[in-house]
């Protein structure tokens, strides 16, 4: 089938590459020439494991094309995926300007039946708005009403984890498709069934429903996962007070099949492009419908506070004034296997440290350049603070003469460091671990002053205690 993807961001690129991988003829459109130049030059504008190799393979096979030509993109695909950004507006609602502009472009250029698929995460009712703007554009061309071109608007939300998106797309646990029960919807269903047929050969993974329910499903899924994270973080903070070990608690409750282990890790808060934005958008949708989502309001509040917990632990040990202190920070991206810095906890942690007078030397395996850009924007009005943020080429480089190591992202490279070397180069053998990578007892035996989230602080030999 001939498929068009509008938008070469995270969702669009993964969707386009994976559909090309199973044999479809994919045309990827973006209005940003810089992105298209990168893609046509053999690169990718985002970091996602396996994506570059998949795109290269399918470009060589002639199954994927990248262009800024809007008319050509509409002419190409019988199915038009809208996969553009929906950033949060000032009031927390999803900004649909890019989605609606994509729909207008399709309406301006379409010639014949099209299935228009909302792949972007959009609020309930967006398909109706997309239909309205396409109808408006067709009417301007004298193609409205019964004499006009037919089309169907489908909701097909993505359920991709950054860092594992290619695998998630190629091995989906479900494919949600929302469509209308009319003649055009029936034709759209046939095309979508054909499109996703390779993923259903082992067993049927597609769940059909009405459009509004499909739009709601995406938000409800992300809201549930965010709730689990904030729940465990709140339990971890209580565990700190009562002397329990949240890792033991996690294993105890996760063994219950009604609960499971996924998204039950305590840490320093969630970030990224999905959870913060989607929780805010769902809260806003509820407000507009005359309802308060009290649980999700609490989830959001807990997450904001959790990003401050790690620095509070540092302040408890080293004092409120950190002038002259130096910290090694491992991990900048909001999660491993991505360079995404959106809502990353590292931004709050580093801002708080330098705001108290400290200097930071930070390292991330892939997000360093994106972090440079983000911090330059975050601290544009505070050049003196920005000057105290340094980016290292290796994780070991950050440690020299630091008062402590602060771990913010759980990259695999950080899970088994050379602790002997670490103790040698730090001013004091001290770790503040926002992701609970190490065992407190093992750290005590090594003579490392180890502070984690929701786990006991184990005393260690007096002659190994660090000086403050």
Q: What percent of the chain is helix, strand and coil (3-state, nearest 5)?
A: 45, 15, 40
Separation CA 77–CA 16 (nearest Å) = 12
Annotated active-site residue in 18, 28, 268, 274: 274
Looking at the chain, the number of H-run helices and the number of E-run strands are 18, 14
Q: Which residues are annotated as a binding site for substrate?
A: 159-162, 218, 263-267, 271, 335
What is the secondary structure of 364-421 as a DSSP string? -TTTHHHHHHHHHHHTTT-HHHHTTEEE-SSTTGGGTT-SEEEE-S--GGGSS--HHH
Q: What are the pLDDT tens digits along the chain (468 aa)?
A: 999 999 999 999 999 999 999 999 999 999 999 999 999 999 999 999 999 999 999 999 999 999 999 999 999 999 999 999 988 877 777 889 999 999 999 999 999 999 999 999 999 999 999 999 999 999 998 887 666 789 999 999 999 999 999 999 999 999 999 999 899 999 999 999 999 999 998 889 999 999 999 999 999 999 999 999 999 999 999 999 999 999 999 999 999 999 999 999 999 999 998 899 999 999 999 999 999 999 999 999 999 999 999 999 999 999 999 999 999 999 999 999 999 999 999 999 999 999 999 999 999 999 999 999 999 999 999 999 999 999 999 999 999 999 999 999 999 999 999 999 999 999 999 999 999 999 999 999 999 999 999 999 886 654 454 544
The dihedral through the CA atoms of 430, 432, 437, 438 has a sign that is positive
**pLDDT of the residue at 87:** 85
Domains of the chain: 2-209 (3.40.50.720), 220-305 (1.10.1040.10), 307-464 (3.40.50.720)
Q: How many beta carbons lie within 10 A of that of residue 414, not counting itself?
A: 21
Q: Which residues are annotated as a binding site?
A: 30, 35, 86, 121, 159-162, 218, 263-267, 271, 277, 335, 342
HSE (CB half, 13 Å, CA atoms) of 464? 17
DSSP conformation class of 120: S
What is the secondary structure of 59-70 as a DSSP string? HHTT-EEEE--H
Q: Which residues are annotated as a binding site for NAD(+)?
A: 30, 35, 86, 121, 162, 277, 342
**pLDDT of the residue at 146:** 67
**pLDDT of the residue at 466:** 53
Tell me how far CA of residue 417 lies from CA of 50, 190, 339, 345, 393, in angstroms.
Answer: 26, 53, 22, 22, 16
Strand stretches in 11-144, DSSP E: 25-29, 64-67, 79-82, 114-118
HSE (CB half, 13 Å, CA atoms) of 216? 8
Per the annotation, the verdict on 274 as an active-site residue is: yes
């Amino acid at each position: 089938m001939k498929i068009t993807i509008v938008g070469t961001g995270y969702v669009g690129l993964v969707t386009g590459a994976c559909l090309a991988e199973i044999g479809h003829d994919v045309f990827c459109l973006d209005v940003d020439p810089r992105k298209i130049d990168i893609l046509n030059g053999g690169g990718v504008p985002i970091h996602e494991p396996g994506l570059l190799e998949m795109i290269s393979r399918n470009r060589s096979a002639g199954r994927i094309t990248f262009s800024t030509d809007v008319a050509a993109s509409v002419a190409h695909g019988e199915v038009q995926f809208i996969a553009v950004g929906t950033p949060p507006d000032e009031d927390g609602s999803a900004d649909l300007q890019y989605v609606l502009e994509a729909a207008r472009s399709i309406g301006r250029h379409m010639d014949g039946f099209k299935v228009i698929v909302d792949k972007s995460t959009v609020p309930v009712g967006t398909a109706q708005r997309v239909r309205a703007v396409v109808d408006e554009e067709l009417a301007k061309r004298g193609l409205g009403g019964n004499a006009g071109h037919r089309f169907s608007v489908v909701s097909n939300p993505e359920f991709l984890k950054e860092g594992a998106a290619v695998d998630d797309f190629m091995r989906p646990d479900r494919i949600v498709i929302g469509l209308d029960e009319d003649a055009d919807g029936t034709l759209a269903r046939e095309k979508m069934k054909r499109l996703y047929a390779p993923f259903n050969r082992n067993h049927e993974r597609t769940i059909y429903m009405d459009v509004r329910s499909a739009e709601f499903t995406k938000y409800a899924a992300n809201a549930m996962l965010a709730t689990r994270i904030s729940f465990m973080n709140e339990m971890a903070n209580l565990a700190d007070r009562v002397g329990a070990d949240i890792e033991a608690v996690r294993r105890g409750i996760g063994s219950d099949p009604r609960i499971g282990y996924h998204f039950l890790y305590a840490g320093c808060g969630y970030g990224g492009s999905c959870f913060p934005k989607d929780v805010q958008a769902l809260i806003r949708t509820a407000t507009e419908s005359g309802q308060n989502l009290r649980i999700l309001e609490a989830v959001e509040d807990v997450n904001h506070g959790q990003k401050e917990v790690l620095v509070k632990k540092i302040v408890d040990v080293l004092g409120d004034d950190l002038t002259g202190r130096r910290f090694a920070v491992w991990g900048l991206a909001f999660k491993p296997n991505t360079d995404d810095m959106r809502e990353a906890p590292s931004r709050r942690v580093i801002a708080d440290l330098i705001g108290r007078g400290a200097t930071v030397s930070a390292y991330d395996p892939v997000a360093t350049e994106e972090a440079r850009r983000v911090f330059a924007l975050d601290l544009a009005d505070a050049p003196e603070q920005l000057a105290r943020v340094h980016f290292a080429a290796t994780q070991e480089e950050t440690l020299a003469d630091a008062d402590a190591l602060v771990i913010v992202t759980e990259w695999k490279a950080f899970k088994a460091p050379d602790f002997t070397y670490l103790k040698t180069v730090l001013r004091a053998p001290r770790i503040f671990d926002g992701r609970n990578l190490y065992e407190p007892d093992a750290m005590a035996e090594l003579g490392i002053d180890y502070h984690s989230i929701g786990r006991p602080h184990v005393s260690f030999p007096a002659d190994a205690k660090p000086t403050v």
